[in-house]
Chain A
Amino acid sequence: MTRHGAAGRIPRPLYVPAALGLALLLLPIVGLVARADWSRMPAAITSVEALDALGLSLRTGLAATAVCLVVGIPLALVIARSGPRVGGFLRALTTLPLVLPPMVGGIALLYLLGRNGLAGAYLDLAFGIRLPFTTTAVVIAQAFVALPFLVISLEGALRSAGTRFEAVAATLGAGRWRIFWQITLPLVAPGLVAGTVLCFARALGEFGATALFAGNAQGVTRTMPLAIYTAFNGAGVGQDSAVALSLLLVAVAIVILLLMRGWRPEVKL
């Protein structure tokens, strides 16, 4: 396991496609930065529309992440501790929103929770609750597309951590809840943090399902991606604003990645 020896084993020609791959990922952002009109940037970013969109995105993104944590951690645990057949089946179900185009997800949500939907009609009749085109709908749409990212990464971490430490904790007298909080979760903390960050990033970037299920009303459902789309299409503030908002999202993403790298488990005595 020598560090310097590893690089020598890659066939040299492979560096070319590797560099191309990196360029494919990075050059568009360079293009975005190059197109930016820096003099008008402050005004574009601090406009009411932009601040509304940023605030709404952060609020809904955090809410969706919280929802994902509350249901995603138990779901990951159930999948990880199930047998290979049940676990595999549940894992496939969980992955479904990941491979589904978000637009399809939005339509599906509409037919489930819309005013004439399977559950929506009942919610309206019984409680007077109408979800579509509300901020709650944004959170639901974001949670729908973001949940798999949390569950899949956490489930992998749980499975590789195994149950041996939990068995030891039980023989020391720890009950299920104590084991869950003090052994299971801390053991998968790196996977949990990575999954949460991915989940939040995916919620922030969510567009398709939100557009169909929640609509595009400023301050209510117009999150950053929708604001960028709206601006780019000429309505409202124009393409310069779209670029400025995009760069703002890039900045948020970079901050998230830096936070993730900076995170280390702390020593407990």
Chain B
Amino acid sequence: MAGAAVGAPALEAQVRVRRGDFVLDAAVRVEPGEVLAVLGPNGSGKSTLLATLAGLIVPEEGMVSVFGRPLTLVAGGAASVRVPAERRGVGLLGQDALLFPHLSAAANVAFGRRAQGARKAAALQVAVDWLEAVGLPDYAGRRPHELSGGQQQRVAIARALAARPDVLLLDEPMGALDVQTAVLIRDLLREQLRANGTSAVVVTHDVLDAMVLADRIAILHDGRIVDEGAVATVLGRPRNAFIAALAGVNLVQGRAASDGALETDDGRRFAGRAPVAVAAGALLAGAFRPSAVALVAAPAAAGHANCWRTTVTSLDAAAGGIRLVTSDGVAAELPAAEVARVGLRAGAEVWLQVTPADITLWEG
């Protein structure tokens, strides 16, 4: 792209957007060839962030640049740079494929190249190659309504990548697909983003999307990025209960006891897989999966590590059993038969246990 600066990040943005009472105030940075996942629940500002990067929303204050080329620059309430969507070099792939219904699959994929000035024959050849790359070699002449939802999304991926965007924005790209199709499309996206060295931002509420697709992850909560880093670090050692919930793990926070175990303010003790070399009294955090939690009979001695008494606040059906949430915020997944045997109801008092091997402890 013209004006690309050597060593500049693929995407750099620092924007503040006000929508009624909601304020998005976030900064993101994507290195060339890197995929950044922005993970957050509905209403956290993901779509607003993406629309701002795509140039569909002008921020109240801030900047967006791609490979050092400024696309949006708003300072002191005045927009000094505002490059329109068609000249940003920023592609967009949403949860709906939005294939042009009057064009064949090949013409859809060729559209970007044609818009960039390629000859019809050359653009169609590129389109045919791309359809092959996304696993649809025999579908060039098909119209969108003749394709399944998964096939449409494959064509949409080919169309977005064939246009050679400097940065590709993905907005819940698997959001409209059934589970089996989503798995296939997620793998295809990972493969194609890697193969083409595409710099991308994927916003999603699905932690699996982030794990499969992204190199780095940013957690968006109430319009702010609350944590950012390598996927394994951010999700494996969640900084707060909110991120832990997104990652699907339980987070406990407290201080180090003299034996290296974690002691919470309410007196629960958690010994981890490996002791952490910290002074007694230092801040500690620990995480364990809901499926690692077991239901036990009352222990003989009080103050037993990794075992605590709590109250069930809710019960829900979950994959592989029953998910219960307790008054101290811990989620546990138990086999349905066991829940039935004990006759658990909301409000019941139970003893829970997690073996040390299932707990990761870290300082912080």
Contacts and interface: CB of A to CB of B under 8 A. Distances in A.
B187 interface: no
B344 to A, nearest CB: 44
B100 interface: yes
A193 to B, nearest CB: 13
A175 B101 CA distance: 19
Interface in A19-38: none
A174 B108 CA distance: 12
Contact of B86 (A175, A189, A269): A175
A182 B111 CA distance: 10
A165 B86 contact: no
Contacts of B101: 187
B104 A269 contact: yes
* Interface SS of chain A: helix
A170 B88 CA distance: 9
Contacts of A265: 102
B11 interface: no
Contacts of A164: 96, 98
Contacts of A178: 115
B115 A269 contact: no
A92 B266 CA distance: 69
A85 interface: no
Contacts of B102: 186-187, 189, 265, 268
Contacts of B90: 171
A269 B120 CA distance: 10
Interface in A148-189: 164-165, 167-176, 178, 182-183, 186-187, 189
Contacts of B54: 171
A125 interface: no
Given A164-B98, A165-B98, A165-B100, A170 B107 contact: no
B130 to A, nearest CB: 13
Contact of B124 (A167, A172, A182, A269): A269
A12 B96 CA distance: 42
B258 interface: no
B111 A269 contact: no
Interface of A: 164-165, 167-176, 178, 182-183, 186-187, 189, 265, 267-269
Interface of B: 54, 56, 84-92, 96, 98, 100-104, 106-107, 111-112, 115-116, 124, 140-141, 143, 159-160, 163, 165
Given A172-B163, A175-B86, 17 more contacts: A165-B98, A167-B92, A168-B98, A169-B115, A171-B88, A171-B90, A172-B91, A172-B111, A172-B159, A173-B112, A173-B163, A174-B115, A175-B115, A183-B100, A186-B102, A187-B102, A269-B104
